[in-house]
Amino acid sequence: MKIGDLIVGSKYTNNDICNAFLCSPRGGMRRSKRTNTLVLITNQKSFYDGRWFDNKLYYIGMGSKGSQSLKGNQNITLYESNKNGIDVHLFEAFRSKVNTYMGRVQLADKPFQEKQDDVDGQLRKVWVFPLQIIGNTMPVRMDELEKAFQDEFNESKQLSIEELKDRINKTAKHPSSRESTLRVFQKSPYIIDYTLRRASGVCELCNQKAPFNKPNGEHYLEVHHIHQLADGGEDTTENAVALCPNCHRMMHSLNRKSDIDMLILANKAKKT
């Protein structure tokens, strides 16, 4: 397989990528001098691989411990990629060992630094690279995004409440957004999980128990954002509530100020 044989939107194994680009089989940034390329692999399930906003990928650089550097690694390659003649190709792993080819990318804005925790929980500086896909791209399929979310949500349920709060504190307040078969906002599974746990099976608007249980015995409630994400609302525990299906539908149909005020007050009262 050659680079020219790759099809945007198609799925490839790690071996396929290595054979096409003649690159290393490991790492999220793979430089190949033989093909003059840099391969980026971003994993939807990885906490450190960046986020999408308005169809730009804010990709986190190399280095999982300590502050990241632009020296002696591929961070400098990506930093200079708009002028060094290297083609940058992006793959997304929505599932383990399955990589979707997204096409060639380029820097959309100047890279910048921000503070994030490293793998040991120590605060450090990372390099963030705003990337955009070159030319036409195939929208991500809704089922891929939903499957990636469900995998993260299932993993979230194994966390203790303190671990969950820690994940939430490290979650961006504004959700990722990108073009799919529909425009979708990628909500944080940690905030969904925390909100449902906080409600303990009781609707946070009508204060009635969930109308039924799921097959696994869990109470059925739906998470609603008081201020809608599409209108700029934040994906935070302060803006999320658990509602029964009737109240959830009522909020979307009527969205009365009195109900909004009640949810805001109820949320503040439960905040710990």
Given 98, 133, 168, the domain boundary residue is: 133
Phi, psi of 239 (to 5 degrees): -105, 5
Beta bridge partners of 241: 224
Number of domains in the chain: 2
Whole-angstrom Cα distance, residue 119 to residue 57? 21
237 and 207 fall within a common domain: yes
Whole-angstrom Cα distance, residue 160 to residue 167? 11
43 and 98 fall within a common domain: yes
Lowest-confidence range among 48-62, 143-157, 231-245? 143-157
Question: Which band of pLDDT confidence, cut at 50, 70 and 90, is reported for residue 119?
Answer: confident
The CATH code of the domain that includes 69 is 2.30.280.10
Lowest-confidence range among 107-116, 133-142, 226-235? 133-142
Is the sign of the CA dihedral 109, 79, 185, 65 positive or negative?
A: negative
Lowest-confidence range among 6-10, 124-128, 190-194, 208-212? 6-10
146 and 254 fall within a common domain: yes
55 and 162 fall within a common domain: no
207 and 101 fall within a common domain: no
In this structure, the number of other CB atoms found within 10 A of the CB of residue 131 comes to 25
pLDDT given at position 180: 55
Look at residue 108 and give its three-state secondary structure: coil
pLDDT given at position 49: 59
Look at residue 128 and give its three-state secondary structure: strand
pLDDT given at position 181: 52
Q: What is the DSSP string of 38-52?
A: EEEEEETT-TTS-EE
Closest-CA residue to 140 (of 99, 181, 175, 105): 181
Whole-angstrom Cα distance, residue 186 to residue 132? 18
In this structure, the number of other CB atoms found within 10 A of the CB of residue 107 comes to 18
> pTM for the full model?
0.61
Q: Using alpha carbons, list the distances in angstroms from residue 88 to 16, 55, 84.
A: 17, 17, 11
Q: How far is CA 199 from the centre of its chain?
A: 24
Could you give the percent of the chain with pLDDT greater than 90? 56
Question: Which band of pLDDT confidence, cut at 50, 70 and 90, is reported for residue 12?
Answer: very high
Whole-angstrom Cα distance, residue 58 to residue 96? 21
pLDDT given at position 271: 66
Q: Is 33's pLDDT higher than 90?
A: yes
pLDDT given at position 157: 86
pLDDT given at position 165: 87
Note the pLDDT tens digit of each residue in 212-255.
999 999 999 999 999 988 788 899 999 999 999 999 999 988 98
113 and 7 fall within a common domain: yes
Range of the domain at 97: 3-133
> What is the average per-residue pLDDT within 186-212?
93
19 and 76 fall within a common domain: yes
Question: Which residue type is seen at 267?
Answer: N
Please list the alpha-helical segments (H only) found in the chain. 14-21, 75-79, 142-156, 161-169, 189-199, 245-253, 257-270
pLDDT given at position 204: 95
